Amino acid sequence: EIVLTQSPGTLSLSPGERATLSCRASQSVSSSYLAWYQQKPGQAPRLLIYGASSRATGIPDRFNGGGSGTDFTLTISRLEPEDFAVYYCQQYGSSPWTFGQGTKVEIK
Amino acid sequence: QVQLQESGPGLVKPSETLSLTCTVSGGSIRSYYWSWIRQPPGKGLEWVGYIFYRGSTKYNPSLKSRVTISIDTSQNQFSLKVSSVTAADTAVYYCARGRDVPDYWGQGTLVTVSS
């Protein structure tokens, strides 16, 4: 099973700042089958990015995904108030699909 | 707009079977894969398994011997059963559309395993 490790655990930033989140896999994720989700308290996760860098329908272009192999990043270019949430990465290249433990982006 | 709604008991006794149903509205259950994902309180996400509308399934090996996912296309519903539950199965259970990267999710339902 592929283990995903996200860092940092918590990111304290101000609105307007840039956020960079990391997701590292214990082994190479085939075909960059890596996704990112946003989750707010009491809500279901929301798909942001799939295929490492493709934005899901309706996702603003301030969200960008990148990386390949074992190292992936999610960048939020300028944080809006609604972006403060927990973010999870997920790999779907190797069964079982697995998720990272999450990065919380909080208001500084 | 596709909507999913989980339903089922919120409390299950240890060693019993957890049963949940997901009702899909605003679209057909046909031609898609449908998944279950769970999240223990305050923790991360765990993929449980998925089913194709024609009935083929795949499960997380960590749960495989205890999990069954089924589908009823006539009712636009799919279901999850987890047998021999323990406190470790306490979680918010989400149903979702899609096999790899679910795009539509239900709101989730908390299932607590306790006597």
Hey, are the CB atoms on B45 and A90 less than 8 Å from each other?
yes
Give me the pLDDT at residue B109, please. 98
Give me the pLDDT at residue B15, please. 96
Which among B45, B101, B107 is the nearest to A47, CB-wise?
B101
Tell me how far apart the alpha carbons of residues B4 and B10 are, in angstroms, rounded to a whole number.
Answer: 17
Give me the pLDDT at residue A104, please. 98
pLDDT < 70: residue spans in chain B: none
Give me the pLDDT at residue A97, please. 96
DSSP for residue A53: T
DSSP for residue B64: G
Tell me how far apart the alpha carbons of residues B49 and B60 are, in angstroms, rounded to a whole number.
Answer: 6
List the single best residue of B22, B50, B100 to mutate versus A (max A Cβ within 10 A): B100
CA dihedral A52, A57, A61, A65 (to 10 degrees): -10
Return the number of other C-beta atoms located less than 10 Å from residue B106's C-beta: 23
A48 conformational bin, left if phi > 0, alpha if psi -120 to 50, beta if neither: alpha
How far is the alpha carbon of A96 from chain B, nearest alpha carbon, in Å?
6
User: Minimal Cα distance from A99: which residue of B?
Assistant: B45
Give me the pLDDT at residue B64, please. 74
Residues 6+ apart with CB under 8 A from A81: A15, A107
pLDDT string in tens for chain A (108-residue length): 999 999 999 999 999 999 999 999 999 998 889 999 999 999 999 999 999 999 999 999 999 999 999 999 999 999 999 999 999 999 999 999 999 999 999 999
How far is the alpha carbon of A94 from chain B, nearest alpha carbon, in Å?
10
Hey, are the CB atoms on A98 and B47 less than 8 Å from each other?
yes
DSSP for residue A20: E
Give me the pLDDT at residue B23, please. 98
Q: Classify each residue of A10-42 as buried b or exposed e, where b means 16 or more C-beta atoms within 10 Å of its C-beta.
A: ebebeeeeebebbbbbeeebeebbbbbbbbeee
How far is the alpha carbon of B45 from chain A, nearest alpha carbon, in Å?
6
A87 phi and psi, to 5 degrees?
A: -120, 135
CB pairs below 8 Å between A and B: how many? 47
Give me the pLDDT at residue B106, please. 97
> Do residues B39 and B94 make contact, with C-beta atoms less than 8 angstroms apart?
yes
Tokens representing A71? Answer: 């190292």
Number of H helices, E strands in chain A: 0, 11
Hey, are the CB atoms on A99 and B94 less than 8 Å from each other?
no
Give me the pLDDT at residue B67, please. 97
Return the number of other C-beta atoms located less than 10 Å from residue A58's C-beta: 8
